Amino acid sequence: MSRPRRKTDPAQEWPEGFAGGPADRRALVVLLHLSSVTPRRLLDLAQTHRTASSCLRAVRAGRGGSPADRSLAASLDGGAVEQELAAAGARLVAVGDPEYPRELLDLSDPPAGLFVRGMELRGSTPRVAIVGARNSSPAGREVAHILARSLAEAGACVVSGGARGIDAAAHQGSLRGGGRTVSVLGSGIDVLYPRQNDKLFQEIEAAGAIVSEYPPGTPAEPFRFPARNRIVAGLSRAVVIVEGAEGSGSMITADHALDIGREVFAVPGAVTSPLAWVPLTLIRDGATLIRGPDDLLDELGLRPLVARSPGGVEGEGYGGDRSGPERAVWTALTGSMPPDAVAGALGLPLPEVVSALVALELRGLVRQVGGRYERRAEPGRA
C-alpha cells in the first residue's frame, strides 16, 4: 500500500552548508531548544537566512519564535550545550552531515538535526519500522518479535519507538537476531522513556542507535509522539503495523509513511479484538497483509543471511517455554490436523490452541493447508 510520493518543493530544501561550520552547529543546537521554532518554521527561516547562525540572529532580533524563546535564545550558550551532549554520550547530526539520513528529506518538515547516541545512522542496511500498541497482547508481541528477528537475520535494521508493548518486542527481536535497531524517542536524548525499558535502551545503544529531535532534558509528553512517529516513518523503507486500537499512534505512523511513499504492511487480527482495528483498517484500504516473516521478506526482496532454527519451541528465543501451550501443541500435532482436533487432544481451550498455532506458523514451524495444520519438514520452508 502506498500513495503517490509527495515531492518536496525544491525552494524548500535546506540550504547547502546550513550547519556546516562550528559556529553554525552551535547555533543549531540553540535553535533546536526553541519549541516555537518548529522544523517547518526553521526550514522557512533558512530560505531567507541560509545558515543556522543567521537564523539564530534573526530569532534573537524578534524575526521568529515566541517572546519566551527569544529570551531563551539570548541566554543559551551553544558551546555549553555541546559539552552537555558529550557528557551524555550523545552527538548532534545536522542536516548536510554525511551521517544525516537523506530519507528524512522526503518529509515536509524534516528535522534540521538529530541528537544521537550509539552507532552511526548511515549505511546501506535497509531500515524497516515495526510499530503497534503499547497495551498489546502477548500474541502481538510474539509476532513483532518474530518479524523483527527475521528482518535482522536478513540483514535489515529495525526501527521503532522504544515504547512498551509492540515497540519493545520489535527492538528485542532485532537484537536477538543479531541485528541493528534504532529507537526514536519522543523525549530528550537523555530522557529514556519508559524507564521500565532502561536495560533495553542500553542494549539498543550498544547494537544500534537512539535518536531524538528534541534537546536534552525534554520530558516525554503525549503531544510529542505524533511528531516522533513521522521520523520513524521517514527513516524507514517500509512500515509494519502489528496491533493498534482506534485512535492509536500506529495509524499516525502509517499515514506519515503513506504521505512520503513508503510501503505499509499490516498483520491481521481477530475482528473481535479492539487491537486489530488499525491493521484491519489499513488492509481494507489496500495495505499488504502479512501472514508471517516469509511474506514480509518476500515483499521486501530480502533473504535470511543465517539459517532459521526452531528456536522458541525448545526454549531459545522469545517466548520459548518448554511447558507452555506452543510446546504442547507442537507435540500433539501429528499429521494434518484442524485446530479443534488439537484442542480436543490436549483438553485446551480452542482460542489458546489457535494462538499457539499462529505463533508456530510465524516461526516457520508449522503450515496451514486448507484450514488444517501440519509440521513443516524443514523449518522456514514450504
pTM of full prediction above 0.75 = yes
Residues 97-109, buried b or exposed e (16+ Cβ, 10 A)? beebbebbebbeb
First-to-last alpha carbon distance for the chain, in angstroms, is 26
User: Residue 293 — pLDDT band, cuts 50, 70, 90?
Assistant: very high
Cα–Cα dist 304/154, whole Å: 4
Average pLDDT on 48-66 reads: 94
241 pLDDT more than 60: yes
pLDDT value, residue 274: 96
Q: What is the mean pLDDT of the chain?
A: 88
Q: Which domains does the chain have, with CATH numbers?
A: 10-89 (no CATH), 127-300 (3.40.50.450), 311-375 (1.10.10.10)
Q: Which of 189, 237, 193, 231 is nearest to 210 (CA)?
A: 189
Average pLDDT on 72-80 reads: 90
Cα–Cα dist 382/373, whole Å: 12
pLDDT value, residue 1: 63
pLDDT value, residue 11: 43
Instruction: Indicate the Cα dihedral angle 123, 252, 298, 327, nearest 10°.
Output: 110
Cα of 349 vs its chain's centroid, Å: 34
Lowest mean pLDDT among 53-62, 101-110, 163-172, 361-370: 361-370
Q: Which residue has the higher pLDDT, 89 or 4?
A: 89
The secondary structure of 329-347, three-state, reads HHHHCCCCECHHHHHHHHC
Q: Which residue has the higher pLDDT, 326 or 378?
A: 326
pLDDT value, residue 100: 96
Average pLDDT on 334-362 reads: 84
pLDDT value, residue 185: 98
Q: What confidence tens digit (pLDDT) does each residue in 184-217 have?
A: 999 999 999 999 999 999 999 999 999 999 999 9
pLDDT value, residue 26: 95
pLDDT value, residue 330: 80
Q: What confidence tens digit (pLDDT) does each residue in 33-54 have?
A: 999 999 999 999 999 999 999 9
Cis peptide before 339 (omega within 30 of 0): no
Average pLDDT on 274-287 reads: 98
Would you say 170 and 144 are in contact if contact means Cβ atoms under 8 Å apart?
Answer: yes
pLDDT value, residue 2: 56
pLDDT value, residue 377: 58
Q: Is 255 exposed, middle or buried (0-12, 13-18, 19+ CB in 10 A)?
A: middle
